[in-house]
Amino acid sequence: MTKVIVIGAGVVGASAAYRLAQAGAQVLVLEANRPGAGTSGISYAWTNAHRKPPLPYHALNVNGMKTHAILRDELGATPWWHGGGSLEWTEPERWDSFRANIEQLNGWGYAASYVTPAQVHELEPDIDLSVLGDAPAAFFPDEGWCDPVVYIQAMLSAAIRRHNARILLGARVVDLLMHGDRAGGVRLADGSVHEADVVVNCAGRWTNDAVREAGLHLPMAPTPGLLVFTPPVACGLSRVLHTSVVNVRPDGAGRLMLHWDPTDATLSLDSAVSTDMPQVRDLLARVKRVLPGIGEVSAEAVRLGIRPIPGDGFTAVGPVPRVSGYYVAVTHSGVTMSPFLGLCLADEIMRGTERPELADFRPARFFN
Ligand SMILES: Cc1cc2nc3c(=O)[nH]c(=O)nc-3n(C[C@H](O)[C@H](O)[C@H](O)COP(=O)(O)OP(=O)(O)OC[C@H]3O[C@@H](n4cnc5c(N)ncnc54)[C@H](O)[C@@H]3O)c2cc1C
């Protein structure tokens, strides 16, 4: 039986663990902290393939969206995934690029259609249409959002209960065990050793920290993202909303999650964040313009997430040159893509089937 170690229990590691165990591997997940403790627990988690050119990268995301849907058929229910589509409009300076995006998405066969203010009102009656004004608005019916930690739990539970995978928590990997040019397992911070035929590094932004050998390190370009959470509010928002003033989505039990790209640009990877910082008050004022019904509200929580982005901005999944038995899987948009990446890893590692969808996203491109 092929023994596989998966480093990290975020969305990527949990997806890999489930599919590898299902394909017959004896899987051991080693998680330094707890499942979902990394970026997956602090994510906007919008499942989409929106503004993700070029086509192969867009397609990777579409495959992720489709695989989320396959899980619904496979497991009977996917309580972590919330459909309903997304609505978008932008500020006037971006209308040309907005229209170009819709045209490109339609050209690629992705569902995206313009909607009138009356249709926006029908979909989301609590939106103040004066903020929309005469902006072009679009609806993306196949999009949604995910509760990543609930997803992770479901994948790990399926791997463990159905396919005898194991997980060790508090297990920080510090190095690969090398047998010549072959990875034969890992060493943990406490000095213990775990042998395996294959090691799959799914440690997200910490991918390089788990292996001491600098020659195996990927260039990384992480970016910070601020998420603001309201308390439960009496507002009927039921889908992802990207507007000219704020991005907002439901986050369960009446809470809203707010995000705004320009705010991220004011922060660094180690910025301290708090509910009373000016950026948070600004996001709350912005969301009140779009959804005035929420009234005066303070932030219940604020979190800074760090996006695990490989150096050129694109996904890196596959073997690493010069060492056999060692794979990495690191990506932004991991909430969208991870169900598909798990399938691909299982096909490649357990069935020996190379997935053409990953051809442009091999870690080897960084090791010339
Ligand atoms: C603000 C923000 C918004 C985002 N919005 C979206 C979005 O809308 N849609 C989308 O699809 N994606 C989005 N993303 C990206 C997405 O969240 C990530 O791509 C995804 O969560 C990465 O998952 P992961 O499993 O690779 O990493 P992580 O979730 O970070 O998991 C890595 C795990 O490895 C563990 N670990 C680390 N080091 C070690 C070690 N040495 N040994 C053992 N375990 C270790 C960690 O504890 C962690 O649990 C967003 C990210 C951020 C920050």
Ligand 1 geometric centre to CA of 40 (Å): 4
Question: Of 81, 248, 249, 307, which is best to mutate to test ligand 1, by the most ligand atoms within 8 angstroms of its C-beta?
Answer: 307
Q: Quote the CA–CA distance of 54 and 49 in Å, as a whole number.
A: 11
Q: Which amino acid residue places its CA nearest to atom 32 of ligand 1?
A: 203
- The model carries a pTM of 0.98
Which class is 3-51+148-218+312-366 in CATH? alpha beta
Ligand 1 geometric centre to CA of 121 (Å): 35
Ligand 1 geometric centre to CA of 128 (Å): 34
Q: What is the mean pLDDT of the chain?
A: 97
Q: Which amino acid residue places its CA nearest to atom 37 of ligand 1?
A: 203
Angle at the Cα of 73 from the Cα atoms of 69 and 75, rounded to 5 degrees: 105
Q: Which amino acid residue places its CA nearest to atom 53 of ligand 1?
A: 305
Would you call 246 helix, strand, or coil by DSSP?
coil
Both tokens of residue 339? 């169900």
Is the CB of 44 inside a 6 Å radius of any atom of ligand 1?
Answer: yes
Q: Which parts of the chain have pLDDT scores under 50?
A: none
Ligand 1 geometric centre to CA of 107 (Å): 31
Question: Of 50, 150, 333, 345, which is best to mutate to test ligand 1, by the most ligand atoms within 8 angstroms of its C-beta?
Answer: 333
- Cα separations (Å) of 343 from 50, 113, 138, 145, 340? 22, 30, 32, 20, 5
Tell me what pLDDT residue 326 has: 98
Ligand 1 geometric centre to CA of 338 (Å): 10
Locate the ligand 1 atom nearest the alpha carbon of residue 305 and give its number. Answer: 53
Instruction: Give the amino acid at 356.
Output: P
Is the CB of 206 inside a 6 Å radius of any atom of ligand 1?
Answer: yes
Tell me what pLDDT residue 90 has: 97
Q: In the chain, list all ranges with CATH 3.50.50.60.
A: 3-51+148-218+312-366
The DSSP H or E segment spanning 225 is: strand 223-229
* DSSP character string of 303-324: EEEEE--BTTSS-EEEE-TT-B
Tell me what pLDDT residue 368 has: 77
Is the CB of 185 inside a 6 Å radius of any atom of ligand 1?
Answer: no
Tell me what pLDDT residue 89 has: 98
Residue pLDDT, tens place only, 235-292 = 889 999 999 999 999 999 999 999 999 999 999 999 999 999 999 999 999 999 999 9
Under 8 Å between Cβ of 303 and 205 = no
* DSSP character string of 91-124: -GGGHHHHHHHHHHHHHTT---EEE-HHHHHHH-
* 86-141+223-307 CATH, one of 2.60.420.10, 3.20.20.70, 2.60.40.10, 3.30.9.10: 3.30.9.10
Residue pLDDT, tens place only, 7-58 = 999 999 999 999 999 999 999 999 999 999 999 999 999 999 999 999 999 9
Is the CB of 39 inside a 6 Å radius of any atom of ligand 1?
Answer: yes
Q: Which amino acid residue places its CA nearest to atom 26 of ligand 1?
A: 204
Residues 6+ apart with CB under 8 A from 239: 84, 85, 86, 87, 123, 124, 144, 249, 250
